[in-house]
Amino acid sequence: MSNLNPGMDAETFEQFIDQLRRYVRDRLIPAERDIIESDCIPPEIIDELREMGLFGITIPEEYGGAGMNISQYTRTIRELAYAMPCFRSIISITIGMFTSAMKNGATEAQRQEWLPKLAAGTITSFGLTEPGSGSDSAGMQTMAVRSSDGGWVLNGTKRYITNAPQAEVALIMARTSKEPLPKNAHVSAFIVPMNTPGVSVGKSDKKMGQAASHIADIILEDVHLPADALLGGEEGKGFITAMKSLDNGRLSVAAASIGYAQRALDSALRYANERKAFGEPIANFQLIQQMLADSDIEIYAATTMLEDAARRADAGENVLRKAAAAKVFASEACGRIVDRVVQVYGGAGYLAEYEAERFFRDARVYRIYEGTTQILQLQIAKHMLREFNAGVN
């Protein structure tokens, strides 16, 4: 399988991964308890993430980024996601969907303006979901209409938007036609600086888990944008651009699921060796060993799926189905693993004093965002049936 995207030099990348692994264990994990209590990542840690270049890992070198390929990007996410999810969350939209949309759909002038800012550490949001619609673009209500000066006026509300309270710029999907059009050509994408008059952010939503990772509504009320805010300078490409960028987003969630599952499993291994019952460590009990072994098997399977999908993406293949499959398997496996970890901890696993219950709460959303398991199962089946009916072996 040829690699169209070689990415960073392999030796340089391995040095970066070693540095990141040490940083996660020596700096981020010790900071977790204070971050949980404050529900906020300290500004100095965000600055450190910027200094390490983490906001620019997927941005081409000519725009100030590291130029990682998809395999390197997902490996980086796995390492970072060993710590609590908020650290991945704060960079994930910038390095994932926003950068992907810029590379796939922006004009060169837009790339020149925005990619260096993203690489330097701009926090971003991606606005697709609404109170009445998510993956269903026909139900989208946010409208963009031409203004008298040739620009655009946006009105609408986006819901459950990651990083909305901290974001400096958002990529907003909006209708440029009131009527649904073939191939979702009624949806366009707009680059919206969050300090634009008429843009406001709702109250940060309280969530089951993922402390310090914030989601909120983005409200657009007569937001005037210049003509060049339209991504790619062309109407009707927004949904296609969004869907292309979702492949990378799903691989990122798969990587995050694997990284956090490994963290939870390592915690269970440590606890099982320390906790004694009937005069010996519970790690000696075969049913405990079964839960540990099943978890390790699932992490290996998920990692193999992710690496294969990323390698195929780097080779230029369409990985829609494989990215969806990797995301479904990894996120569902993570859910089973954190559940087993609570069980290994026993009664202690239900107490907030121990980290097992946090792993359980944090991991639940991986099966929901970037496409729920159920919507991705439908998508996978639809493509299978399309290929079957077209006579593809």
35-41 long-range CB contacts below 8 Å, 24 or more apart? 35/84, 35/86, 35/211, 35/212, 36/84, 36/211, 36/212, 36/358, 38/212, 39/211, 39/212, 40/212, 41/86, 41/87, 41/90, 41/212
Residue type, 390: A
Catalytic residue status for 370: yes
Residue 315 in tokens = 């080779």
Per the CB < 8 A criterion, the answer to whether 73 and 233 are in contact is no
Reduced DSSP (H G I as helix, E B as strand, rest coil) percent helix, strand, coil of the chain, to 5? 60, 15, 30
Per the CB < 8 A criterion, the answer to whether 119 and 143 are in contact is no
- Look at residues 152, 189, 184 and name the one whose alpha carbon lies nearest to residue 172: 189
> C-alpha angle 27/32/18, rounded to 5°?
30
Buried b (16+ CB within 10 A) or exposed e, 224-246: ebeeebbbbeebbbbbbbbebbb
343 — alpha (psi -120 to 50), left (phi > 0) or beta? alpha
- Point out the catalytic residue in the list 298, 355, 370, 387: 370
- Distance CA(337)–CA(294), nearest Å, equals 8
Per the CB < 8 A criterion, the answer to whether 151 and 227 are in contact is yes
Q: Which residues are catalytic?
A: 370
